[in-house]
Amino acid sequence: MSTKLFRMILCSGILLGVLTGGSVAAQIDTKKEISSQASELTHTIQQYKADRGSLSRFYFLETSPERIERMKELTQQYQKLLDRFSYNQLSMDGKVDYVLFSRNLQNEWNLLETGEAELPIAKAYVTFSDELFGYERKRRRGAVLPAATLAGEWQGWKKQLEERITAIEKDQQLTLSMAYAVQKRLEDIQVAAKSIYDFYYGYDPQFSWWMEQPYKGTDSLIKRYSSAVMAKARKNSAAADDGSGILGRPIGAAELKRQLELEFIPYTAEELIKIAEEEFAWCDKELLKATKEMGFGTDWKAAMEKVKNSYVPEGKQPEMILDLFNQSVEFIKKHKLVTIPPVAEETWRMNMMSPERQLVNPFFLGGESIIISYPTHTMAQADKLMSMRGNNPHFSRATVHHELIAGHHLQMYQNQRYKTYRNFYTPFWIEGWALYWEMILWDMNFPRGPEDKIGMLFWRMHRCARIIFSLNYHLGKWTPQQCIDFLVDRVGHERANAEGEVRRSFQGNYGPLYQLAYMIGGLQFYQLKKELVDGGKMSYLQFHDRILQEHQMPVEMIRHILTNKPPKKDFKTEWRFYPKLK
């Protein structure tokens, strides 16, 4: 850079400082910049995240004793580091991080102990697993394996698997919980075997000569054995297919209680069902009002049928999504509800969902990209119509902003920019926030008429139904088919969409509390809004921006931050956030 150009830039900077009442540097609040990214625990949490990532990639077999032991050592190491902090000297953010990091470490320890307790069960059904894991451990450091000896051992393992497949039909002691432990072990065996084979085959002439047939034969038997184990366990547990084709894993009352406490939800499963029923009753009243307004009297199903048949012509769904996005963003800006960074508004995009994926996700998925669920030419005629009807413009009015702005896209965008060290994942923040926007936009008259109201109420009823059917299922009271029928009869789902929803809930990669987290998390945010915004302590803009700048965490912890009331070191959830059920 020339001296003349440098002087021009410098003079411009000085002039800007004079015009704005101070130096250029003074325009940046450095303390605020630091606090938006860090607390006293930031380094420790980042170190743990990195260490755990390194160890997980090295000890990648989840059921191997060496991984469990090493991860327990790591957890103890960081608990000791955490204990060295003087809690009373920490800032508000530091105290929140301390409580949540301690919670995460305790949960990690519990999961590791559960895995350790399952090892003897798994080993009894796959006796050669530790030997195979030992070979894989040597492979990681490039040891030369005795190919001929290994081939002989592998043939022996193959024979064991063949015998086990035959014997499993007579096993009357195998339960579902045992079967899941065995299945996890078999998955790791398959991964370990592939890791060894892929590393040496084609590179080590002796290994390639000896191991091709033993490996291929064993790999196919592992898959067969895994299927046989699960089939027998379901037969023993009288958990046969109820006609739905959906076979999940109910976790029971005790595990539900543990997971609710972990998420800082101070209600029992039964109380949560009562909350859902209360919210359902509100939806019923509003649904009947909209039904009457449409001229259908009390026949809400007829009104909903008309709304479903308002679907756009084939090929026009993306245009409709863009229009709904523009409407919601314009509304949010007009009412100054939340800051929308220009890059966030600029970079969202659309993708289409495959027919296969629509079997599990019959509606939108979202984030930076909104994934549109709509029929393709390969789908059956009936499925095409159900997909189009279930994704009509009035239903979609509540889902576009849920998936994009101010929902999941804006959440993810801000998560990448504020307090990025926080890894306190919870669906009550993720899905609760997006559902909360459906609530406040309803309050602010975002629906343009009774059809829009019915569309938005469909989704609100859907969230209530998720609490009821998922908890009844995990308590062992309902079958998957009962859940499907409930969605069709009580909410008005298309049957194929209801089947996809239930399949997603119990066979997708979702935790047992995920489906109830939408409504319950939304109600938590809604009650916090009543305290702070309706109470005149914050504007909508301040409230929403602050939440997004704290990163995700249980909503009760956000309440502590926003009300400036530090949590106790031995924090126990106590916020009974639903006024009708104190």
DSSP string, 526-552: HHHHHHHTTTTSS-HHHHHHHHHTT-S
Using CA atoms, how far residue 170 sits from 125, 226, 240, 438, in Å, is 13, 16, 17, 53
Give the number of other Cβ atoms within 10 Å of residue 326's Cβ: 11
Contact (CB, 8 A) for 575 and 263: no
Go through the chain and tell me how many residues it has: 582
Residue 500's pLDDT is what? 82
Give the number of other Cβ atoms within 10 Å of residue 289's Cβ: 13
Condensed to tens digits (0 to 9), the pLDDT of residues 415-442 reads 999 999 998 999 999 999 999 999 999 9
Which run of H or E residues covers position 371?
A: strand 369-372
In 3D space, the residue among 89, 88, 87 whose CA is nearest the CA of residue 102 turns out to be 87
Residue 367 falls in which region: left (phi positive, over 0), alpha (psi -120 to 50) or beta = left
Identity at 363, one-letter amino acid code: F
Distance, CA of 259 to CA of 86 (rounded, Å): 28
Residue 20's pLDDT is what? 38
Distance, CA of 61 to CA of 484 (rounded, Å): 36
In 3D space, the residue among 506, 467, 507, 514 whose CA is nearest the CA of residue 487 turns out to be 467
Angle made by CA atoms 579, 477, 506, in degrees to the nearest 5: 90
Contact (CB, 8 A) for 63 and 122: yes
Give the number of other Cβ atoms within 10 Å of residue 488's Cβ: 14
Residue 295 falls in which region: left (phi positive, over 0), alpha (psi -120 to 50) or beta = left
Can you give the pTM of this predicted structure?
0.89
Contact (CB, 8 A) for 520 and 467: yes
Give the number of other Cβ atoms within 10 Å of residue 489's Cβ: 11
Distance, CA of 300 to CA of 454 (rounded, Å): 9
Contact (CB, 8 A) for 457 and 286: yes
DSSP string, 323-364: HHHHHHHHHHHHTT-S---HHHHHH-EEEEPPHHHHTT--S-
Residue 179's pLDDT is what? 92
Q: Which residue has the tokens 């029971």?
A: 252
Condensed to tens digits (0 to 9), the pLDDT of residues 9-50 reads 334 443 334 333 444 445 677 667 776 788 999 999 999 999
Residue 361's pLDDT is what? 66
Contact (CB, 8 A) for 432 and 562: no
Give, for all 582 residues of the chain, the pLDDT tens digit.
Answer: 444 433 443 344 433 343 334 444 456 776 677 767 889 999 999 999 999 999 999 999 999 999 999 999 999 999 999 999 999 999 999 999 999 999 999 999 999 999 999 999 999 999 999 999 999 999 999 999 999 999 999 999 999 999 999 999 999 999 888 999 999 999 999 999 999 999 999 999 999 999 999 999 999 999 999 999 988 988 887 655 677 777 778 889 999 999 999 999 999 999 999 999 999 999 999 999 999 999 999 999 999 899 989 988 888 888 988 999 999 999 999 999 999 999 999 999 988 877 777 766 667 677 888 887 777 777 777 777 777 777 888 988 888 888 999 999 999 999 999 999 998 999 999 999 999 999 999 999 999 999 999 999 989 999 999 999 999 999 999 989 999 999 999 888 878 878 888 888 887 678 899 999 999 999 999 999 999 999 999 999 999 999 999 999 999 999 999 999 999 999 999 999 999 887
Angle made by CA atoms 261, 264, 268, in degrees to the nearest 5: 55
Residue 9's pLDDT is what? 37
